[in-house]
Amino acid sequence: MKILLALCLSVAVSLPTLAWAADAPTPSAKASNVVSGEVLEVKDVDIYTYLRLKTRDGETWAAVSKAPVKVGAKVTIENPSVMKNFESKVLKKTFPTIVFGTLAGTGGKEFASAHANAPQAVTAATAPIKVPKASGANARTVAEVHTKSAELKDKPVVVAGQVVKFNPAIMGKNWVHLRDGSGDAAKETNDILVTTQAQAKVGDVVTVSGVVRTNKDFGAGYTYKVLIEDATLKP
């Protein structure tokens, strides 16, 4: 009798645990790194597709590289990265929160690959670039921004250089790659990324004033060890 009673008590104690386990989601690394839902609205712009999704957690907006998506479709956004108060100048709309990522089934093309697809001009830089260092207390060469990044983190700098790549209107800003002839290409210290609202053309020689940021992650696996953000440009 005692053995039977002990067995019943053991089963009773185990039941809640078994019930919880049946309802709990199966652990999955991938599940924590995707957003899935039904498309309620589609807005196509130059190189992006904006999607209003109905997910199990409610509605959310997402942005992916331009793709033919229809209302009612079930989609999955991989490598999601949430941005707050993102302003789309094209749509004239500010999203309180929006998910940037890769639309599953598009061959793994990341949202960040918009840098490659955006209207741009890239120089082969066949002629040697040699731009004199800017003047002033905060003046630095491209190489110095790289090699002294820990010291310069979150500090203002002024860098003179030649624009070798220009990508407009990505995530609300323009992306400029600048070189001045300093640094080592093999060590990737000869080129610095600058984000700005200003316009520029490949071949322009400009002076940029901005703030050094380090280990910046824009989502979708797109990271930079060092860059200059929120810069102004002067010829």
Q: Work out the percent of the chain whose per-residue pLDDT is above 90.
A: 43
Task: Give the CA dihedral 136, 142, 143, 149, nearest 10 degrees.
Answer: 80
Considering 57-61, 104-108, 115-119, 216-220, the range whose residues carry the highest mean pLDDT is: 57-61
> Do residues 35 and 77 both lie within one domain?
yes
Domain count across the chain: 2
Q: Which residue, of 117, 135, 156, is where some domain finishes?
A: 117
Residue 21 lies in a domain: no
Q: Give residue 169's domain range.
A: 121-234
> Do residues 59 and 99 both lie within one domain?
yes
Coil, strand or helix at 170: strand
Distance between CA atoms of residues 63 and 114, nearest Å? 11
What integer pLDDT is reported at residue 144 of this predicted model? Answer: 97
Reported as a single tens digit per residue, the pLDDT across 226-235 is: 999 999 999 9
CATH of the domain at 83: 2.40.50.140
What integer pLDDT is reported at residue 177 of this predicted model? Answer: 93
Reported as a single tens digit per residue, the pLDDT across 93-151 is: 888 888 888 888 654 443 444 444 344 444 444 568 899 999 999 999 999 999 999 99
Tokens matching residue 28: 């999955």
pLDDT over 50 at 187, yes or no: yes
Length of the chain: 235
